């Protein structure tokens, strides 16, 4: 891992088109500003990992449990 020290107001460039600026440090919180290409998405790690786990679970159900769940919840035909 590359380790760098920056002060508030100082920035880093990642490659040609990502700028990461340290805006402020207050206690344990660091506020970061990012300038990114328009179509680049950014995830907070804990959210990314939670969704990854949910996706894995959505993939793992057995056919038998799926059929049983499907009978527990039927599509509403009348609405």
Residues that bind other proteins in the complex, under the rule CB under 8 A: 36, 38-41, 43-44, 47-48, 50-52, 54-63, 65-70, 72-77
CB of 42: closest distance to other proteins in angstroms?
A: 8
Q: Looking at beta carbons only, is 5 or 29 nearer to other proteins?
A: 29
Instruction: Please answer whether residues 42 and 50 qualify as being in contact, where contact means their C-beta atoms are separated by less than 8 angstroms.
Output: no
Signed CA dihedral, 29, 44, 4, 10: sign only: negative
CB of 35: closest distance to other proteins in angstroms?
A: 12
Q: Looking at beta carbons only, is 14 or 67 nearer to other proteins?
A: 67
Instruction: Please answer whether residues 23 and 38 qualify as being in contact, where contact means their C-beta atoms are separated by less than 8 angstroms.
Output: no
Q: Determine the 3-state secondary structure of 30 from DSSP.
A: strand
């Amino acid at each position: 891992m590359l380790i760098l020290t920056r002060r508030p107001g100082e920035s880093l460039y990642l490659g040609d088109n990502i700028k990461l600026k340290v805006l402020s440090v207050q206690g344990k919180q660091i506020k970061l500003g990012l300038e990114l290409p328009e179509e680049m998405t950014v995830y907070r790690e804990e959210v990314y990992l939670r969704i990854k786990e949910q996706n894995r679970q959505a993939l793992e159900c057995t056919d038998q449990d799926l059929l049983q769940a499907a009978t527990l919840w039927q599509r509403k035909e009348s609405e």
